Amino acid sequence: MNIVLLDPCQTESEIWSITSKRQLEHLKQHINVQVGDTLKVGIREGKRYLTEVVELMEQAVKLKPIQIESVPEKLPVTLIVAMPRPKVLRRLIMDSVTLGVEKIILLHSYRVDKSYWQTPFLQQLDQYVTLGLEQAGDTIAPKIEIYKRFKPFVEDVLPGLITTDCPAYVAHPYADMKMPFAIDHPCTIVIGPEGGFIPYEVDLLIKNGCQAVSLGNRIIRTETVIPYVLGRLFSAC
């Protein structure tokens, strides 16, 4: 937690209050916060401030804002990813948010086990987003969308995300073209499930405007390939 994220309603008066149990525990146990300390605070969907701790209570930490700070910029990228195993979902969302992905789409695919869609973790996406924002020092949540049917998404929704200035790349081990790097334009990236997209799916993605690109001959897990690809694509940022 590198900033404390507050709801706008917690910052309406002159003195702000941190009251969430998770945040209080972190501040008291890990940071051992004291009156007079400065603390970085973000307002959800709003600005970021340096604040000063003015009072420590059992159920609250009271703050006053000192100065405004800049919120890190997002990466202009939509990440479309085949729904991962529940254990991986939390990390994947947190990391994508931390790295500044603007929009995340969770998609069904042939090799996605249907049981994955039943995971209670899907109800907790907002918590993972909060953790990712607090890690990065960001305040703006990405949009997250869920499509449980592959074909209708690829045929009806995906083409609307692709333009000449905003291409879509699907990572595919047998593609001739390499994944680009140091790009200076927005893009969409499509990452398959464990075991990869099946040929029918790759063909449908290409038919609907995606460019198949290779990342070399190492096979990288979904949760690892996401930071790897983002570092590569946006290396000029």
Spatial contact of 69 and 49, defined as CB atoms under 8 Å apart: yes
Regarding beta strands 38-43 and 48-56, do their DSSP bridges make them parallel or antiparallel, or are they unpaired? antiparallel
In angstroms, what is the minimal distance from the CB of 179 to a second copy? 8
d(CA 235, CA 237): 5
Residue 217 in the binding site for a second copy (CB under 8 A)? yes
Residue 38 in the binding site for a second copy (CB under 8 A)? no
In angstroms, what is the minimal distance from the CB of 126 to a second copy? 20
Please state, as a whole number, how many other Cβ atoms lie within 10 Å of the Cβ of residue 29: 9
Per-residue contact flags (x/-) with a second copy for residues 169 to 198, judged by CB under 8 A: ------------xx----------------
Question: Please, where are the H alpha helices in 30-80?
Answer: none
Among 10, 42, 128, 138, which residue interacts with a second copy (rule: CB under 8 A)? 138
Nearer Cβ to a second copy, position 153 or 234?
Answer: 234
In angstroms, what is the minimal distance from the CB of 30 to a second copy? 10
Spatial contact of 38 and 48, defined as CB atoms under 8 Å apart: no
At a CB cut-off of 8 Å and minimum separation 6, what does 205 contact? 154, 158, 168, 170, 190, 197, 212
Nearer Cβ to a second copy, position 58 or 176?
Answer: 176
In angstroms, what is the minimal distance from the CB of 155 to a second copy? 31
Nearer Cβ to a second copy, position 147 or 228?
Answer: 228
In angstroms, what is the minimal distance from the CB of 236 to a second copy? 7
Residues in the chain: 237
3-state secondary structure of 2: coil
Residue 50 in the binding site for a second copy (CB under 8 A)? no
Burial category of 40 from C-beta neighbours within 10 Å (exposed 0-12, middle 13-18, buried 19 and up): middle
- Residue 180 is classified by DSSP as P
Among 76, 84, 100, 192, which residue interacts with a second copy (rule: CB under 8 A)? 100
Regarding beta strands 210-213 and 168-171, do their DSSP bridges make them parallel or antiparallel, or are they unpaired? parallel
Residue 24 in the binding site for a second copy (CB under 8 A)? no
In angstroms, what is the minimal distance from the CB of 136 to a second copy? 4
Per-residue contact flags (x/-) with a second copy for residues 116 to 135, judged by CB under 8 A: -------------------x
d(CA 205, CA 7): 39
Binding site for a second copy (CB under 8 A): 2, 70, 72, 95, 98-100, 135-138, 181-182, 216-221, 224-232, 235-237
